[in-house]
Copies of this chain bind each other. A is one copy, B any other.
């Protein structure tokens, strides 16, 4: 099953896709949908599949966006780090997010803006102190996210947040694919292209901590709730690790895709 949100008639509306059928639902977004017990069967109106350009963020304002750093063996190696013993966790707030076809806003205060394709977990159940099995059961599904990073600000202090939370820099979507349809541990191809040039091409099988392990780890210290996002790190190929270093040029088209989910296609516009 695929879940998403579309812009329609000046508002937004969630939709569900199963077996080639798209059903438009009487709720504003997937967040509102998940708050209903009957979300899998909620009746709606069938219609044509939405156009890519009309897609909105699946959840309009996620409360928590938890991000794992250094979570691919190939990326840890390219930045000269040993595989870590514990997950490295930083955060975003909803101000940082944009939809799958929206413009990414390039901060005027930086010239070192980088790409990071990531698989993101969408939480489906409230969990705390979840073991790996319970954590796996709490995963509603998966989506695509590009953790566009403002490297000069990220490196100003030990805490990366100020390079990770610029308004309207993080596209995600285009839909959420439920967990029964995908197996990230078996390996999903994930790619990032800048102006048509492939910059990252990895597999989720290379993750250091699996999706379920990350959710379990987070739940040790905090309650996760339906609609929370967990971005699970990026594979090799980021601009920061290239020789010479590369950054996103203003006006670039950024394409971010994961096998079995779909792609984000965003224009990077100067602020």
Contacts and interface: CB of A to CB of B under 8 A. Distances in A.
Interface of A: 63-64, 69, 84-91, 93-96, 107, 109, 128, 150, 153, 156-162, 165-167, 220-223
A162 B91 contact: no
7 contacts: A69-B159, A87-B162, A109-B221, A153-B221, A159-B159, A159-B160, A167-B222
Contact of A221 (B87, B158, B160, B165): B165
Contacts of A160: 158-159
Main secondary structure of the interface of A (DSSP, over half): loop
Contacts of A94: 63
A88 B155 CA distance: 11
Number of copies: 2
A159 B156 CA distance: 13
With most chain B CB atoms within 10 A of its CB, the pick from A69, A95, A223 is: A95
Contact of A222 (B86, B90, B166): B166
A9 B228 CA distance: 32
Contacts of A87: 157, 162
Nearest to A109: B220
With most chain B CB atoms within 10 A of its CB, the pick from A64, A128, A162, A166 is: A162
